Amino acid sequence: MAAALILAIALVGAPAAMASVTKSTNWAGYAIHRSGVSFRSVSAAWTQPHATCVAGGRSFSAVWVGLGGYKPTSRALEQVGTEVDCDAHGKVLSSAWFELVPAPSRTFSLPVRPGDAMHAEVTVTGHRVVVELDNLTKHRSFRETTDAGLIDISSAEWIVEAPSECINSISCQALPLTDFGSVTFASAAAASSTGRAGTITDGHWGRTKIKLTPGAQRLTVAQTTNDTAGTAAPSPLRSGGSVFEVTYATATIQPAQSSVRRQSRLRAAYLRH
């Protein structure tokens, strides 16, 4: 969510396809992928986190499941999730959204508050994308079916992210990461296009553990400068590969990075996950 944005001219490369651990400037969680395997659906449950906010600085974090976006050649990503942000007055803001990259993120009116139990799913059939987000606490649901021009189903992900502010598809800046404490992904599952259903540890695909680290490579379809105010790391998998946590930790922002963040508010931009 932009003046003095750094223009990118090439995609940052993702790690080797079967790598077990990698670092990213904007993602923390797990991705599954294997050459020759495509995915039809991805799902998980989590509890909307309680953010720790202080007055004087905005910060942002998003929790989502999605298909695509992991490969270095990817130009698409289908995702749905929630966001917990801090405004400049230290107020916690929660919202729900979906995004079909390269299109901008779209928020929707499903109520979300810290402590609410959420369940999310993305399903892709051909170019038809179905995104669904359920607030199990408030017994409210959102479901949208959209035909997308660009599709990537070469990977599936369960991610906590530092969103970005963009002025176009290749010119983005990562935003400061909200202190979200810890988020537990439960009932994490995916299904391949051939009908194979499994958890993150299923032997029919490989998995990569992703740690959000300032200065690392970006895992998405556009490059950014790094401006995150924290780090995040996933725990080991348990319960047969269906459960893990992502936990926030503090990090140091270099003075030059802080200057870029302040300048970025001068230009209108849109949010990208």
Q: Which amino acid is at 26?
A: N
Asked if residue 145 belongs to a domain, the reply is yes
SS3 191: strand
pLDDT, mean of residues 190-194: 97
Asked if residue 2 belongs to a domain, the reply is no
Asked if residue 46 belongs to a domain, the reply is yes
pTM, entire model:
0.85
pLDDT, mean of residues 93-106: 94
Asked if residue 10 belongs to a domain, the reply is no
The continuous run of DSSP H or E covering 258 comes out as: helix 255-263
Asked if residue 13 belongs to a domain, the reply is no
pLDDT in tens, 23-53: 998 999 999 999 999 999 999 999 999 999 9
164: pLDDT confidence band, cut at 50, 70 and 90?
A: confident
**For position 198, which CATH number holds?**
2.60.120.700
Segments forming the whole domain that contains residue 183: 21-272
pLDDT in tens, 226-254: 444 689 999 999 999 999 999 999 876 55
Asked if residue 121 belongs to a domain, the reply is yes
What contacts 31, CB < 8 A, 6 or more positions away?
70, 155, 156, 157, 159, 207, 208, 210, 219
What contacts 258, CB < 8 A, 6 or more positions away?
none
Asked if residue 189 belongs to a domain, the reply is yes
The span from the CA of 68 to the CA of 230, in Å, is 25
pLDDT at 183: 98
Asked if residue 80 belongs to a domain, the reply is yes
The span from the CA of 221 to the CA of 41, in Å, is 20
Tally of domains in the chain? 1
